A and B are shown apart, each in its own frame.
Chain A
Amino acid sequence: MALTPGERDDLPDDERDDDGPVLDLLAAATAAARREDAALVPPPALLRRVMDAVRADPRPPGTPVVLSAAPGARVAVAEAAVLRVVRAAAESAGDVRVGRCRVDAAGGVLRVSVAVTARAGVPLPGLADRVRARVAAVAGATLGLPVAAVDVEVEDVT
């Protein structure tokens, strides 16, 4: 963990030619702090409290998407499941990996927004069109809901 020459300007003059021991001291203390950290384990009660809090509120996050509200024949799908369907549909377009994903099923139509990482060199407008078409076709058919909007945000290219 040597300091670069530029950073030595911050040290007092008398340290410039002889800062080896000081840096050794900091490096040794840092190594010791790492070892101390490695021995530091969270109390078991911590994970227990986390699990208690999670179990106290076990419903999956988000609002379930209602596919049919017919009395006696209601069909609702957990948001997490809908997201999985949408992600798989978007990735079936190829050249793309889906990151964040949001769905909204208000008014009986599905509105989707996906953030994607695209393969470098693939023309992005065409890619966005393919993602949109796959989500509309596959997710629409799987869920039986018309897909009213598919917003695509390309957040990275690799």
Chain B
Amino acid sequence: MRRYQAPLYRLAVRVLDDRQEAEDVVQDVLVTAWRRLPELRDDAAVGGWLYRAATNRSLNRLRDRRTLPDDALEQLPDLRPGEQPQRVVEAAAGVHALAAALRGLTPEQRAVWVLRELHERSYAEIAEALGTSPVAVRGRLARARADLAEAMTAWR
């Protein structure tokens, strides 16, 4: 449980873009996992189950949230470099630009991209987490990368 809480928290923070909600999701997943522990035996099964549960719960929250006004976008500082020295701000601003670009993806695309690029999960594992096929994962990942690259270009 200690081993998984940090990766699951990072995943939920990236997908939800909200630390409080991410905490709620991870707490919920870990409590449920604890109760189901006897059913989840080997390590691989536990990891897969936890990633699937955390991904699904995060996506469900995003679906619920979609009906609410999207204040989150307003909070985003305008990070166009402007007159700031390009080199200095580039690394830090690049992360913010990426975060902004990630918000522009659909929740499913974002989940696929985060699971693959930040959590290095295999296509098969991501497919399992999202209840889809590895081929569909490959397609969504390609789409997500292309959209991100395009958004980053616009920022530049």
Which A residues contact B (CB, under 8 angstroms)? 1, 3-4, 6-7, 10-12, 15, 19, 21-23, 25-26, 28-30, 32-34, 36-37, 40-43, 46-47, 49-50, 53-54, 57, 60-62, 79-80, 83-84, 87, 98-102
Contact = CB atoms under 8 A, between A and B. Distances in A.
B145 A26 contact: yes
Contacts of A6: 142
Interface of B: 1-2, 5-6, 9-10, 13-14, 23, 26-27, 30-31, 34-39, 41-42, 45, 91-92, 94-95, 97-99, 117-118, 142-143, 145-150, 152-153, 156
A46 B149 contact: no
Nearest to B8: A42
Contacts of A102: 39
B91 A28 contact: yes
B41 A99 contact: yes
A85 to B, nearest CB: 12
Interface residues of A, dominant DSSP: helix
A127 B37 CA distance: 27
A34 B23 CA distance: 19
Contacts of B146: 3, 7, 10-11
Contact of A7 (B14, B91, B98, B145): B145
28 contacts: A4-B142, A11-B150, A12-B150, A19-B149, A22-B152, A26-B148, A29-B98, A29-B152, A32-B92, A32-B94, A33-B95, A33-B99, A34-B118, A40-B9, A41-B9, A42-B9, A42-B23, A43-B23, A46-B23, A46-B26, A50-B1, A50-B5, A50-B27, A57-B35, A62-B38, A80-B38, A98-B41, A99-B42
Contacts of A32: 91-92, 94-95, 98
Contacts of A62: 38
A108 B104 CA distance: 57
A29 B97 contact: yes
Contacts of A4: 142
